[in-house]
Chains A and B, each alone.
Chain A
Amino acid sequence: MKVSSSVFASFCLIFELLGLALFLRGFFPVPVKSSFSSKNKLSDLPAEPLAGNGPNSSKVPPPLFKRVVIVLIDALREDFVFGPNGKKYMPYTRHLVERGSTHSFVAKARPPTVTMPRIKALTTGSIPGFIDVVMNLNSPALHEDNLLWQAKTAGKRIVFYGDDTWVKLFPKHFMEYDGTTSFFVSDYTEVDNNVTRHLDSTLKRDDWDMLILHYLGLDHIGHISGPHSSLIGPKLLEMDDVLKKIHAALISKEAEGTLPNLLVRLGDQRSTPAGARPSPEINTPLVLISPAFKRKAGMEKPSVVEQVDLAPTLSLSLGLPISQNSVGRLIPAVFEETSLREQLRVLHLNGYQLSCLLRDSTLAYQKEEGYELFRVAEKSHGNWMKLYLEGNTSETLSNMGRKVLRQYIDALKAMSSALSRQLGKYDMYSMVVGTVLLVQMLLLLLLAMPEALSGAAVVDVPVGVALTSLPFYLLCLLCAALHVALCTSASASCYFCGLPWALVFAAIACSAALACALVTMAARRLAPPTKSPSKVSSPGWELSELDMLLLLGTVGHTLSLGASSFVEEEHQSWYFLLNTLCLAVFQDVCRKYFRERRRASQGGAGGDSDDEEQLLPSCKAAGPDTSPLADLGVSRGSEKWLALATPPLTLACCRLLRSLNQTGIQWAHLPDLSHWLNSGDHKVVLSLLSMASLALVFVLVQRRCSAVSKIALALGLLGVYSYRAAAGSVLFPWQHSSRAASKGTMEARFVYVFVLGILFTGAKDLLHSQLVSAEARLRGRGLWEVYSGVVLLIALLLRPHNLPTLACCLLVQSLMAQFIWKRLHYDAAQTTIMHYWFGQAFFYFQGNSNNIATVDISVGFVGLESYVEAPAIFLTALSSYAGPLLWACHLVCYLSSERDSRSSAALGHGCYCFALLRSVPAVFYVLLVTALRYHLFIWSVFSPKLLYEAMHTLVTALICIFFTFMDQSPSPSRA
């Protein structure tokens, strides 16, 4: 079956996407959940176990504490309190920890450590699954069973001050709240004063039961000036004072209350702990202070608990049911002072909740060690209760009770770890099937390379041969048998097994056919040398320095993905490669212009002349009819200097953009231009900069549009500016009245109309040229109009400080196209690789990184009144991948003009190279992630990158389909 290169490439990419989807489904565990919406109720609580029959109490144990104050301090590390400098930084806390009636712990938190999942983990006690983070980027209200809901239902009044993520998560739970946005990282005083200023009045009042304070200032200091900043000391002292104030107020109330109060202070970590890299387990201090605890004699080494343990502990000590999906186990030290019966009772409640969760989330729960231990403990608890109720008070009873206690603790530990393990389990079968599909596609692409890059750009896929061969049927049978065997075996819970059988067998047949086709193609590749050895040696596949660089760069970048630091700092590799590429291009330009002069003076020498003569006629032939310089008004003499100036200019642009957005992990805290521009004091500069950028965009894009599109573009860009002005990020020069800040929805919709209009005009031109006239000029214009529509849309979506990125992108594109790619006769493959590299670099110039936290979700609201899922996702994806998308669009425009002038196969080659460039890292990365699935950084570093890779493959596949569509049209050579 013969297909053109572009069709072949799109086909491969689509299959790769399917493989990738299957792999992702197997790779990301489904979170451990009993259910999403049901909640535990007091009435559902189990009765105290009792052997035999008798009146057993089914009431909840009485609350230990009357009031709770929770103080959360972002980015508070445990060594600030427990470390050697604790006395200096936080004297009062340290004193309490050493001498007061407190319990102190080191709480281990697990990634992903983004604010929202962190708060979820604290309140629900569940470990946030990775998918949770991705699915809930826009933090909607929390519907899962959680501590705050339970407290509110029990009639407790909650007051909250601090990070407004809480307010979004728990919209109706607080009696009183004041949210502070964590968006302005540069502010570290106001953000905390806003919390502290309510404190005095609130502490005096008696009308609340639970007070939650969330301080962000320390974290912001870490973001601005790094973990060793001199600002940290004063900030810690401030926090210490806050604690002292609260503690004093609570103690003064103590006398009146019947039950003691509890003060919880917890360090928490958000996205990036104070500039340092996220370690897989983050240690934060947890200090519980209450007169109910025994006074301590001196500093002890704090024991280690999980952060999720806090939720069940708080629930039980407040007399509330434990939230349903909690995987934490209570901290026994808190209940030390209560009677043995009560201790056993709370342990039983916690165990019962965990066993229910285990039963709901595991099929073979009865085989679990923890479950059995719990059953045993429950039974001996019953026996103990019987003796206890009989009035037995002997020594043996308390010994027996302590034994039951230990049994319970062991059971809790085993069940909790079984539940956590659930999160780390991979569906290997789906993963393997996905990987096999991916690898097959990559091999297919690689084997087809000589044909796909040949002059005809046609690939012969031997499907017919494969389908009629015997090995195909054998392979089908084998795989089907294997599938049946795997899926009918015990404890199989694969996603792939859950699919309908017909679909699975179709997939198996497809894969088997591909395998046979691959073997046939490989055999064909190996065969020819014996027949015609001359044909192999003759093609001019000699690699220039540039080719070497492009090849080694691609391979080197792919290999670098194996190191977690290189994944985190991937932008550095791209910037580095791009710089080197520009220098190599610069060398090529110099060689071209200076060698020509030398040639003129000396005459051709040796092997050079052939090469030159091949190039020169085509150069002359191409010169007049393309005439790219005419529309810029550049004379032939200055062309040389412009060509020489282009690479240095590109380098300068790249350096500028690089300092615009600081991304990655290690240097993310360094100040960058975007912070400076957005800081509020420099609004004028930002306005001027975005205005200049928009003007430059207009100048660069309008050249090849029709008159109507030009006007639409100009109005659209004006609309973009007024949208930003309405949203309040830039100044509007002729309007000083401070209107009520509208969201700019009208302006944004106005721009959308123009975008659609331009896209429509472009599509109309394209269709016309495709179906009716096959006129190259019309098609070029249509393509360019589609391109300018995309540019306008992206201009709308990018934040004002990122508009220079767009302008620079267009500038570099037009300069490179005019003076480098056309002049130096780079072939389609080389141009494609360069476009791909530029696209990657611009992806990071925009401020993206391989971390989920840098996705700008606010884009999803541009022009929309409220959150609507489909357009929001589309817009977010579009703006995140603006760089690669723009370069790919430019590639289509460039190659299709190239096709009209020089090589008819340019589009096919470009499409094929594009697909290959994407497949190589994607497939390599999938293999790598499979191999590293037990690596320490798998969740924090490698998984987000996997999602980015999958998304990028999706974008590339769409572009390749567009390529194919453009390639299908009747070319002038055939017409």
Chain B
Amino acid sequence: MRRKEGADAVRLMMLFAVFVIASALGYRVIRQVPPLLHTPLMSGMNAISGVTVLGALTATAAALATGNRLLGALAIVLAMVNVAGGFVVTDRILKKFRAKR
């Protein structure tokens, strides 16, 4: 048990490093997006937050109890609505932005 928690600590540290680096890089890139595109930026980011579907997939695949599998399936449906809906809505908004001909 002790050993496992040691390995866990290393794993957590690495994931935390990923979190910090991604936040910093994301911050730099996103700051460049002009206010004109803030709505599509937000709905696009919204779609990305559906990335939690990856977690839902692995957790549900590993789950054994029926209740957990059903809850997992619900999580997959919701996350996928978020992903598909978010990206398509963003695409629709962005296509509306046209320059003066």
Same assembly: no
Q: Spell out A's residues near B (CB within 8 Å).
A: none
B contacts, CB < 8 Å to A: none
